[in-house]
Structure 1
Amino acid sequence: MPDWLSIAIRSLVLLIALFFFTKWLGKKQISQLSYFEYINGITIGSIAAEISTGLDRHVSHGLIGMGVWFAIPFIMGFISLNSKIVRDFAEGKGTVFIQDGKVMEDNLKKEKYTIDELLAKLRNKNVFQVADVEFAVLETDGSLSVLLKKENQPVTAKVLNLAVAPIKEPQTVIMDGEIMHEPLSSSGHSQNWLETELDKMGVSIENVFLGQVDSYGQLTVDLFDDKIKVPSPQEKPLLLATIKKCQADLELFALQTNNQSAKEMYQKNSEKLQAVLNKVAPYLKS
């Protein structure tokens, strides 16, 4: 067998083995690396590269070596799931860099971080002043988690005691001009509904690059041709406008009538509709 063909076959076999080894180790292996996982990844890759080009070495020897290096972090990961002591030893613990608004210089030195590196990590979190930070910790994966002081935290609807509409994940019902039947069914709609909504927009399924249905049943689409403008969903704005018009009409009827009982009825129902409007407006505006 020619050397080039042998190297190609070896590389293909080891590539497939590496793929399955990494898949068995889980997504954590390619995202948050512990010390063991970091060393393991480098070593397994080195073994695969050495065996793929080392024609004097048997492929099975390389697979055995890769299997051993795969087994070590796999076993450690399994034990870590049930033991915090082992987990802390294998993966380490977070290091506090800022506590009660004060920089912990000793912890910076322990992790071999300079103040410039800390400031750079803070800037990555859109924090440009240390005085704005209440607490910051360097996580085991090297990322910095930051808690701003209360007065510097962004205002939320909960802080303002505002009612907001709940949000669920959108369902992708059209992709590359093809209907995705399972997500469409999960959204609670049928293909006939989808085709009707597209007819309202004046587009066909074949022209839709991406179509999504939100948790309120509104369809939004992105077309292959970016020059074509698609109208935004109008169901919620129209419903909100209709309720407002009904409430305003009831107030107007109350002002125009001379019948006292009718006036009271109009006013009473106007107040009821206003109460309903106050509750649903945040949902229909979003």
Structure 2
Amino acid sequence: MPDWLEIVVRSVSLLIILFFFTKWLGMKQLSQLNVFEYITGIVLGGIVAIHVSTLESPFYFAVISMLIWFIIPYLVEVISLKSKTFRNFVQGKSRVIIQNGKIMEDNLKKEHYSTDDLLESLREKNIFKVADVEFAVLEPTGKLNVLPKTDYRPLTAKDIGLKLAPSKEPQTVVMDGRPLLESLANLSLNPTWLETELEKMNVSIENVFLGQVDSDGQLTVDLYDDKLTVPMPTQKPLLLATMRKCQADLEIFALATDNERSKQMYQVNSEKLQKAIDKVKPYLQ
């Protein structure tokens, strides 16, 4: 076999093996790797590079080396799941950097984390004053998680007593002009419903680049042709407006009639409908 062809075969073969080993190990994103996983990634890549270019080395040497560096990290992960002490030793543990608004200088030194590193990490969180921080912890991956003081936290709906409807992640039901039947089934919908909704928008499914359905069952689409505009879903606003109109009509009927029995009926139903509106309003806005 020519040398160039052997290099190609080795490269492809070892790349495939490395892919499956990495997948089985469940390697995290680079920013989430602990020290041991980082070392493992470097060594596996080095083994592949060496045995691809060194044709004098038998191919099975590379496979054996990679197998060893697969088994060791795998066993480390298994033991780490069962022993917190071992996990802390291998993966490291979180360390408090700021507590009650005060910098823990000793912990900074232990982690070899400089003041400049701390300020840079805080700026990445849009915090420019250490005094604005209530609590900060340095994770084993080197990521700094910060809890600002109460006065500097973003205002939430709960803080102002606003009740919001619960929401779930949207389901993609159309991709590249094709319906995704599994996603439709997860929403208890079918292709007929999808076709009907697209007809309302005067859009054919072949022209849809991406289509998503939210937790309220409303379909939004992105078309291949960016010049075309698609109306936004209006079912919820229309429903709320219809309910308000019915409630207003009941009040008008109560004022317009001279029959006390009818007037009372209209008023009672108007009040009931108003209570229903107050309950569903957070879900329809």
Q: Deviations over 1:185-214 (max 9, x none)?
A: 111111111111101101100000001111
Match of 2:122 in 1: 122
Greater displacement, 105-114 / 219-228: 105-114
Partner of 1:266: 266
Q: Indicate the residue corresponding to 1:64 in structure 2.
A: 64
Distance 1:175 1:27 in 2: 29
Please show how residues 9-20 of structure 1 align to structure 2 within 5 Å: 9-20=9-20
The one-letter code matched in structure 1 to 2:138 is: L
Give, in whole Å, the separation in 2 of the partners of 1:178 and 1:238: 30
Is it true that 1:159 corresponds to 2:159 in the alignment? Answer: yes
Amino acid at match of 1:240: L
Q: Distance in 1 between matches of 2:193 and 2:43?
A: 55
Pairing 1:251–2:251 present: yes
Deviation at 1:259, TM superposition (A): 2.2
Structure-2 separation of matches of 1:192 and 1:16:
42
Show CA shifts across 1:41-65 (max 9, x none): 1111111100000011011111111
Residue 146 (structure 1) shift = 0.8
Q: How far apart are the structure 2 equivalents of 1:29 and 1:102?
A: 31
TM-score with structure 1 setting the length: 0.96
Q: Does the 8 Å CA contact 1:173/1:180 hold for their aligned counterparts? A: yes
Aligned to 2:79: 79
1:84-233 mapped onto 2 (5 Å cutoff): 84-233=84-233
Question: What letter corresponds to residue 252 of structure 1 in structure 2?
Answer: I
Percentage of matched positions with identical amino acids: 61
* Distance of 2:196 and 2:23 partners within structure 1: 43
Distance in 1 (CA, whole Å) between partners of 2:234 and 2:75 is 55
Counterpart CA distance in 2 for 1:255 and 1:75 is 79
Return the alpha-carbon distance in structure 2 between the equivalents of residues 116 and 270 of structure 1: 64
Q: Distance in 1 between matches of 2:17 and 2:54?
A: 17
Is the CA contact (8 Å cut-off) linking 1:29 and 1:37 kept in structure 2?
A: no
State the aligned residue count: 285
Distance 1:100 1:257 in 2: 66
Structure 2, gaps ≥5 residues long? none
Determine the C-alpha separation between the residues in 2 that align with 1:35 and 1:168: 36
- Scaled by the length of structure 2, the TM-score of the pair is 0.97
Query: What SS does the corresponding residue of 2:258 show, helix, strand or coil?
Result: coil
Shift of 1:30: 4.9
Q: What amino acid maps onto 1:127 in structure 2?
A: I
Contact 1:22 1:29 in 2 (8 A): no
| Distance (whole Å) between structure 1 residues aligned to residue 128 and residue 262 of structure 2 | 63
Runs of 4+ aligned structure 1 residues displaced above 3 Å come to none
Equivalent pair of 1:177/1:207 in contact (CA under 8 Å): yes
Unaligned runs of 5+ in 1: none
Q: Deviations over 1:68-92 (max 9, x none)?
A: 1121111010001011011100100
Identify the range of structure 1 (157-166 vs 70-79) with the bigger mean alpha-carbon deviation: 157-166
Checking the alignment, whether the CA contact within 8 Å between 2:177 and 2:205 is kept in structure 1 is: yes
- 2:27–2:37 CA contact under 8 A, matched in 1: no
Q: Report the secondary structure of 2:32's partner residue.
A: coil
Q: Deviations over 1:142-192 (max 9, x none)?
A: 111111112222222222232211111211111000011111111111111
Deviation of 1:107 after TM superposition, in Å, equals 1.4
Number of the residue aligned with 1:54: 54
Structure 1 residue 255, shift from structure 2 partner = 1.8
- Are residues 218 and 278 of structure 1, via their aligned partners in 2, closer, same or farther at CA, if it must alter by over 3 Å? same
Which is further off, 10-19 or 145-154? 145-154
User: Counterpart of 2:98 in 1: which secondary structure?
Assistant: strand
Quote the offset at 1:31 in angstroms: 5.3
Matched residue type, 2:41: G
* Secondary structure in 2 matching 1:254: helix
- Whole-Å separation in 2 of the counterparts to 1:254 and 1:63: 86
Q: For residue 37 of structure 1, what is the aligned residue in structure 2?
A: 37
- Cα-to-partner distance string for 1:217-269 (whole Å, 9 max, x where unaligned): 11100000010000001111110000000011111112222222222221111
- RMSD (CA atoms): 1.3
